[in-house]
Structure 1
Amino acid sequence: MAYCDTLIIKIASRCNINCTYCYMYNLGDDSYKNQPKFISQTTIDEAVKKIGEHCKANNVTKFTFIFHGGEPLLMPKDKFVEMVEKMEMLKNDGITISYSLQTNAILIDEEWCSIFDKYNIGVGVSIDGTKEINDKYRVDKQGKGTYDKVIKGIEISRKYQKGHLGFLSVINLDLDPMAAFQHMKSINALSADFLLLDLNHDTLENEKYDVEKTPSANWYIKIFDKWFSSSEEERIQIRLFDVIIHRILGGLYSIDNIGSGENSVLVLETDGGLEAVDVLKICGDGFTKDNVNINTHNFQDALNAPLAEIYYNSGKYLPKKCLACPVNEICGGGYLPHRYSSKNGFNNAPVYCNDLLKLITHIQNAVIDGMPEELIKESEIQKLTYENALQIIEETLPTIPEPEYAKKLESFRNLEYEVV
């Protein structure tokens, strides 16, 4: 039975900046306009109550809250503390609770740092490479760059907060990847992740992205080679690379955009809506709305909703091309939002299919090159080139029957597409 052990809480549905590529506000979903600016304490009360019930019914002993927005630090500090104190009560039921928060860092001050330390809240900061690139895309409401304000927030955090910051950066193909990597080093990042720009098959053409040339894979590979050749002391943690290597070596660790594990994550909106992952908003206005609300439903209701079920099983509900792919257990079909098209719903390989295949085969071969000869023989692991992998897919694809769940994937297609 599906279960939830991680809840992304949209504690604020507004933001203090206006990133051009933001899936919340600038990619066609306007549902935030009909939602409260902040989540209410009544909704938090109901969420905490039903989380306790859900954990007990499903033997979930560890639960994670991720505070998100919009910009979560827009929430008044006293309301934030009141909310966390309610979540702390779950520990009385024997549930281990952990917290993280994603912010643009502009509003970080000494008092916020004290709150983060008191409740052991891990903080992630969004920043896109160098000042020039960041200020082109991560702008304020007046269109001005935000880099200097973000750096100031980082400095305040490091002065007053005990825990280290993690960093998220959306990759920009206009920025030299080594400049992006060195920038992370220059701000003393200990952990970071570089995210693909959120595209699907409907928006791919607008971005003029050439999937055959695998520009994102080429970008990642330059960073990976430098990162992988670094000493353990010099190497910062890059989640994407860590997960891929873990999967190559037979580990089960997955995240929602890499790996074949279940995605036991739900999103709680400020109006109490319980939904699948928020990036699915790029698929259309109101796309994530399944009419499930924490005030009238429970977590199992949300997990049983059609979109949430597809998201939960996205590493297993793979289209035929992914089933024919020799690295599908590592890739898990990539990120579900990147598979969508109006024509076929989610019954497509992700738009970054070739990029992921090229990156994974490159990393796998680098890992094999670093393994002792005896271990290679014992594990029977073999190198696989990107070109050979493409050939395997081409030869295997005609032999793959349409999976039973294909109708579920296609049920999300836009019916208007067939009329056009």
Structure 2
Amino acid sequence: MTTFNEFVVKVHSRCNLACDYCYVYESPGQSWRDQPRVMTDETFAGVCRRIAAHRDGPVSLVFHGGEPLLAGTARIERFATLAREIIGPVRLRLQTNGTLVTAAFAAACARQGIRVAVSLDGGRAANDKHRVRVGGGSSFSRVREGIALLTAQRDVFAGLLCVVDTSNDPVRTYEALVGHRPPSVDFLLPHANWAAPPPRPGTYGDWLVAVFERWYRAPARETRVRLFDDIVTLVLGGSVASENVGLAPVRVAVFETDGSLEQVDALKTAYPGAAALPTDDLDAALRWPAVVARQIGAAALAPECLRCPVRDVCGGGNYVHRYHPARGFRSPSVYCADLLKLVTHIAAAVRADVARLSASPGAR
């Protein structure tokens, strides 16, 4: 068993956007309805004590939601102080939709060492296909303003998260994101499975390959793209900690606003209760079969995955995307063909460059 080292803490359980692909509000699991709107100071302190008792090395705490900024700047800054007092050294991060960012919030994050990632799906038209305000209306302008406020503070803006929509042009989407000068970009596949397949199945591999080519062939490195960097690292024999590729154990635990413990929220897209744990004790949670399955690497993969030539790089893809009504999570990813295409393409590009560099004059 490998201890948890990343803790997603939901400081607010509601959101001011109505994204149609949201894995919290639009999935079969609707447990958010039973949660308090906001986490109290007492609950947060209790969460921190549980983390402190469990930790075995460096840990990260991610302020999350819903939309965490609905909890207010003062509460988030107070929580950051509490976290350090109770847990000790801890890496603090926050994931936001960006619409509620203010100059005061950005300054508070700078004071507290909180790095902030923002969700954005490209330019205005691409973003507003899915990421709209409650009741309708564009979120893009306010997100753009929020990103500008974060970038005005040193070492606060962590990067962008983009959910892939293959009806959007891949290169234009990438270039719109890079226009904000993010330190990193995460491209996320929509949370889908065999019971609820993704829109336009089979198109994601080509879309990601097009983005990879634009990113990889750029004259200078424009940003880190975590998915591509992770695959390159794995192709070259390295290791990464990722939920999306590779075979490293998943070490993430989630605390709801009432302090209860769950697995990652995205599991709620499979069926109601899929993210639930029978205990609020972190050490005991490690022994729960669903958690064990996410820590044992290749032993949890489907037979088809074990025979796959890119098994150790793909790692079966995101665990959430493997769910099949008849086979549970012991099935290939619903994005299997797309992942095979992407990994194979990246591997060929990287190995060709390694061979070229090895054959060049002066190579040792």
TM-score bracket, shorter-length normalisation: over 0.9
Matched, 1:170 2:153: no
Alpha-carbon distance in 2 for matches of 1:202, 1:19: 21
Name which structure has the greater RCO, CA cutoff 8 Å, separation 6+.
2
User: 1:161, CA displacement in angstroms?
Assistant: 5.0
Within a 5 Å distance, the mapping from 1:254-269 to structure 2 comes to 254-269=241-256
> For 1:351, which of 334, 355, 361 is the aligned residue?
334
Q: Give secondary structure in 1 for the equivalent of 2:90.
A: strand
Q: Give secondary structure in 2 for the equivalent of 1:137.
A: coil
8 Å CA contact 1:217–1:358 kept in 2: the answer is: yes
Alpha-carbon distance in 1 for matches of 2:146, 2:40: 27
> For 2:140, which of 137, 143, 147 is the aligned residue?
147
User: 1:253, CA displacement in angstroms?
Assistant: 1.3
> For 1:237, which of 224, 245, 251 is the aligned residue?
224
User: 1:352, CA displacement in angstroms?
Assistant: 0.5
Question: Aligned partner of 1:354: which letter?
Answer: A
Question: Aligned partner of 1:72: which letter?
Answer: P
Q: Give the aligned partner of residue 325 of structure 1.
A: 308
User: 1:162, CA displacement in angstroms?
Assistant: 4.4
Gaps of 5+ in 2: 360-364
Alpha-carbon distance in 1 for matches of 2:142, 2:298: 38
Evaluate the alpha carbon distance shift between residue 153 and residue 353 of structure 1 in structure 2; reply closer, same or farther with a 3 A threshold.
same
Within a 5 Å distance, the mapping from 1:21-420 to structure 2 comes to 21-55=21-55, 60-90=56-86, 92=88, 96-160=89-153, 162-204=155-197, 207=198, 209-210=200-201, 214-231=202-219, 233-293=220-280, 298-313=281-296, 316-372=299-355, 375=358
Q: Give the aligned partner of residue 410 of structure 1.
A: none
Q: Give the aligned partner of residue 412 of structure 1.
A: none
Evaluate the alpha carbon distance shift between residue 353 and residue 107 of structure 1 in structure 2; reply closer, same or farther with a 3 A threshold.
same
Q: Give the aligned partner of residue 362 of structure 2.
A: none
Residues 271-330 of structure 1 show CA distances to partners (whole Å, capped at 9, x for unaligned) of: 22211111001011232122323xxxx211222223222233355411101100111111
Residues 191-249 of structure 1 show CA distances to partners (whole Å, capped at 9, x for unaligned) of: 11111111100001xx5543xxx310100111111211113x34311000000000001
Alpha-carbon distance in 2 for matches of 1:254, 1:87: 23
Alpha-carbon distance in 1 for matches of 2:42, 2:98: 27
Alpha-carbon distance in 1 for matches of 2:64, 2:253: 12
Larger Rg: 1
Q: Give the aligned partner of residue 7 of structure 2.
A: 7
* Percent identity between the two aligned chains: 31
8 Å CA contact 1:202–1:340 kept in 2: the answer is: yes
Q: Give secondary structure in 2 for the equivalent of 1:281.
A: helix
Alpha-carbon distance in 1 for matches of 2:183, 2:141: 20
8 Å CA contact 1:24–1:281 kept in 2: the answer is: yes
User: 1:182, CA displacement in angstroms?
Assistant: 1.2
8 Å CA contact 2:115–2:158 kept in 1: the answer is: yes
User: 1:11, CA displacement in angstroms?
Assistant: 1.1
Evaluate the alpha carbon distance shift between residue 374 and residue 100 of structure 1 in structure 2; reply closer, same or farther with a 3 A threshold.
closer
8 Å CA contact 2:59–2:90 kept in 1: the answer is: yes
Question: Aligned partner of 2:239: which letter?
Answer: L
Question: Aligned partner of 1:81: which letter?
Answer: E
Question: Aligned partner of 1:221: which letter?
Answer: V
RMSD of equivalent CA atoms? 1.7
Q: How many residues align?
A: 359
Gaps of 5+ in 1: 377-420
